[in-house]
């Protein structure tokens, strides 16, 4: 494996290469918002399970 870090990951015998390029047009979501929404959903599910049983 070469030490060149800019070469990217190659697959399919070098026909497809993946580079670490950042997309500038994509929607950016704060990771803490995603974690908070996940925790909030888990708490909501637990509350609903507690109220139903």
Q: What is the pTM of this model?
A: 0.50
pLDDT for res 47: 93
pLDDT in tens, 17-45: 566 666 677 788 999 999 999 999 999 99
Does residue 5 register a pLDDT over 60?
no
Does residue 49 register a pLDDT over 70?
yes
Sign of the Cα torsion 18, 22, 26, 32 reads: positive
pLDDT range class, residue 3, cuts 50, 70, 90: low
What CA–CA distance (Å, rounded) separates 36 from 31?
9
């Amino acid at each position: 494996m070469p030490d060149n870090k800019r070469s990217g990951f190659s697959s399919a015998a070098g026909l497809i290469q993946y580079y670490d390029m950042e997309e500038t047009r994509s929607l950016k979501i704060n990771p803490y918002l995603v974690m908070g929404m996940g925790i909030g959903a888990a708490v909501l599910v637990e509350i609903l399970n507690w109220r139903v049983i």
